[in-house]
Every structure is written in structure tokens, then in C-alpha cells.
Amino acid sequence: MNRHTEFSGIKPKDHFWVEIYHLMNSIVQPRPIAWISSISSDGVINLAPFSYFNICSMNPPIISNSIFFNRDGSEKDTLKNIKATQKYVVGTVSFKAAKQANISSAPFDSGVNEFEEAKVHSVERGPGEPPFIAESPVQLVCELNQTLALGQGAGVGTLVLGNVKEIYLSAELKDCEWQKGISPELMNNVGRMGADFYAKTTDVFQLARATVNE
């Protein structure tokens, strides 16, 4: 067994936050990616990926995203839109859409629709509704539960909690026994690692949940 007995400490307060950002991103990994489709109050559609993403309650289902301020201190369009309309759609990012998800993360102006820039197909859901992402096999239709601003300025996150009101599965997935979960091969999600690394989810293994009798 590989045991570690000597450790050296790093205090975040002694370093520029970007160094800690790179360090933390390489420690807290792999992270799932929420591909968020949102719409502004004047109807501009927006798409961007977010990997500070998780489930934080299940009955009813609530998910979390942390959306940072831009480096110039301004709010990201996704956060502005969610605050303004209270609604958004989260798509999953599968391996074949990873490059498009990355393109949609570029700092386009607020008036730009990233579906078009990243050549992602949208599935319209009616006026004022953020569209589905055709490249994502699963869509979570979310309603804002609350935002928690952790401060203001570059490197600071705002925690966004969303109630998952509906879960849509693509035709490819709808015949699977989703009540028992969807197989990783069908999802084919990618995970976000540190720096520019991503992980595939094709090399998986199983461990049955432990019991006290083992």
C-alpha cells in the first residue's frame, strides 16, 4: 500500500487566487459538467459549460452550480439570465460533444448565441423558454431555488441551487431501465480535470456498496 506520511502545507491566503484555482481544479476532479442553456429577459439564448456542479438534495431533486464572476468582476451571462428568468436547462456533456461544449465556454459578448458559435443544435421549447441541447442525451429542466453570493469580484463564486422540475431522456435512452440508473456507456459523459485535461468515462469498474458484515 502506498502510504503518505509527510505533507507540506499551502495557505490559500498567501497566494494569488489563480494559483489556488489551478491547484484546486487539479485536486477536486473529475468533475461533472453542466451544459447550461438559458435565456435573457429580452430573449437572447445562451449556452455555457459549468463544472462546479453537483446534486445537493434528492427528494425533491436539487442541483448546485457555482458560477464565478468574470475576471473583470462582471457577472456571467448565465447567472444574469438565471436570476432574471428563474429558469434554465442543464444538459450533460458526452464525449462526442466535448469540443462543442468547450467552444461554448469562450467569452462571447452577451448578445451572442453560443449554440450558433459552437454549432450546437437547439430544440425550441416555446417563447421565453431556454432550448434543449440536441447534443445532450439528458436535459434537466430547472427552476431557480436560490442563489447564494459568496462575495464579489474575480475568483468569487455565486452558488446557484435549482429545483429539477423535469428530466428529459433522449429517444436512445428512454427504453433503458432508468429507474435503476443509466449505464455509463450510454451516458458517455466526460469529466473535467485540472488544466486542460478531461476524463472519459469508458474505463469504469464496479464495487457493491459495503456492509458492516464484510
Please answer whether residues 135 and 37 qualify as being in contact, where contact means their C-beta atoms are separated by less than 8 angstroms: no
Write down the least CB distance from residue 106 to ligand FMN, Å.
6
**Least distance (Å) from ligand FMN to the CB of residue 185?**
21
Is residue 78 a contact residue for ligand FMN (CB under 6 A)? yes
The binder of ligand FMN chosen from 39, 48, 133, 160 (CB under 6 A)? 48
Nearest approach in angstroms of CB 210 to ligand FMN is 31
- Whether the CB-CB separation of 46 and 114 falls below 8 Å is answered with yes
Binding string, residues 20-39; x marks residues near ligand FMN by CB under 6 A: -------------x------
Give the residue among 83, 79, 81, 54 at the shortest CA–CA distance from 67: 79
Per CB under 6 A, 77 contacts ligand FMN: yes
87 binds ligand FMN (CB under 6 A): no
DSSP secondary structure letter of residue 75? P
The answer to whether the CB of 66 falls within 8 A of the CB of 34 is: no
Contact 204, 182 (CB under 8 A): no
What cell numbers appear for 201 in the block? 468515462
Kindly state the number of chain residues that form the binding site for ligand FMN, as judged by CB under 6 A.
17
Verify binding: residue 115, ligand FMN, rule CB under 6 A.
no
133 beta partners:
122
